[in-house]
Copies of this chain bind each other. A is one copy, B any other.
Amino acid sequence: MLERLRDAGLRPTRQRLALARLLFEGGNRHVTAEQLHAEARREEIAVSLATIYNTLNQYRKAGLLREVVVDSGRSWFDTNLEEHHHFFHEATGALTDFEAEGLAVEGVPKAPAGTEIDRVEVIVRLRDPQ
């Protein structure tokens, strides 16, 4: 974990290490800033909300996390760096991954002049059965 932070050019401070452990040990996960803050509090890790936001954004810039926008008014951070897509259940706000393997998006038009494609994101919005 220490290495991972050093490689990303981030000083391995107490707070950053503790948050890295919560985020990266034990499988992929999705969190919001508030959720991570609450979790740190439960684990008795003293970290301010400002540091949670700073850290999540630094991790994102360093490529340790991805941001997922599905929900206006709240940012999700996703530790899964593999190519994948998302289910989003509007009713509950639940966000789950599905693998890109098996999914084919064909016929994406070429990028408008002066831009290039960064990535193609597929969001499958779910509702309760009617």
* A binding-site residues for B, Cβ under 8 Å: 67, 69-75, 87, 89-90, 96, 98, 102-109, 111-112, 114-130
Contacts of A73 in B (CB 8 A): 72-73, 75
Closest CB of chain B to A100's CB: distance in Å? Answer: 9
Contacts of A115 in B (CB 8 A): 87, 89, 126-129
Contacts of A128 in B (CB 8 A): 114-116
Question: Is the beta-carbon distance between B126 and A111 smaller than 8 angstroms?
Answer: yes
Contacts of A123 in B (CB 8 A): 120-121, 123
Contacts of A119 in B (CB 8 A): 124-125
Q: Say whether, besides A98-B109, A102-B109, A105-B104, A116 and B127 are in contact (CB < 8 Å).
A: yes
Closest CB of chain B to A57's CB: distance in Å? Answer: 12
A102, B106: Cα distance in complex, Å: 8
